[in-house]
């Protein structure tokens, strides 16, 4: 036959992510220190561009894409940022605004199962525009999605609330002034 054979046990151990077993991070990105930017981030497949060095993915084999689940309270947003790869968003629940541009001057509202693909080089963010906590699926292209490039305003605000990035791009406590 010549095709790879994987047992149920092996598949369960290395390639199945059970939501009930996922451990989210509240500090996956530097902007989570800013009030109104809090969220839970679940790395499902691959590390993506997570800035929390302790957030391990449920499935480590991230060939050509990374899959992340985000949970946000109503009104909470994400700071403007860019990735060196394509980023795709699909709401699983609720309504989400996806905004882009250097000053977030453009925005579309997505409902469950709608999809948007944001190209590299475009500053983007998203927010829960619904009335309840909601989940958003985020997919990043590439086996190595690089690091997030944040708007300088986001980096300055995060530092005021006690977080900064180290030389490897991981979130650390900001040095006291």
Q: What is the pLDDT of residues 12-71, one digit of tens each?
A: 999 999 999 999 999 999 999 999 999 999 999 998 899 999 999 999 998 899 999 999
The number of beta carbons lying within 10 Å of the beta carbon of residue 17 is 15
pLDDT at residue 80, as a whole number: 97
Q: What residues contact 21, with CB distance under 8 A and at least 6 apart?
A: 58
pLDDT of residue 142: 83
In this structure, what token pair is assigned to residue 119?
């190209």
State how far the Cα of 33 lies from the Cα of 52, in Å rounded to an integer.
13
What do you get for the CA distance between the two ends of the chain, in Å?
Answer: 65
- pLDDT digit string, tens, across residues 100-112: 999 999 999 999 9
Percent of the chain with pLDDT over 90: 86
Per-residue confidence (pLDDT) for residue 2, from 0 to 100: 78
Domains of the chain: 22-173 (2.60.120.10)
Q: What is the pLDDT of residue 143?
A: 77
Given a cut of 80, whether residue 176 has pLDDT beyond it is no
Mean pLDDT of 74-91: 96
More confidently predicted of 53 and 130? 130
Cα separation, 6 vs 168, whole angstroms: 36
The DSSP code for 121 is T
């Amino acid at each position: 036959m010549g095709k790879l054979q994987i047992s149920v046990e092996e598949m369960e151990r290395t390639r199945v992510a059970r939501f009930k077993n996922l451990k989210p991070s509240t500090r996956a990105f530097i902007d989570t220190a800013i009030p109104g930017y809090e969220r839970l981030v679940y790395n499902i497949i691959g590390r993506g561009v997570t800035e929390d060095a302790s957030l391990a993915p449920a499935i480590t084999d991230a060939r050509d894409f990374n899959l992340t689940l985000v949970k946000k309270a109503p009104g909470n947003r994400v700071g403007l940022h860019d990735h060196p790869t394509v980023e795709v968003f699909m709401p699983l629940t609720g309504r989400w605004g996806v905004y882009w541009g250097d000053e977030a001057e453009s925005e579309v509202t997505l409902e469950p199962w709608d999809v948007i693909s944001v190209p590299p080089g475009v500053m983007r963010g998203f927010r829960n525009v619904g009335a309840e906590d909601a989940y958003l699926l985020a997919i990043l292209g590439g086996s190595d999605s690089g690091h997030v490039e944040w708007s300088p305003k986001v980096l300055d605000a995060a530092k005021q609330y006690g977080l900064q990035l180290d030389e490897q791009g991981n979130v650390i406590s900001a040095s006291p002034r």
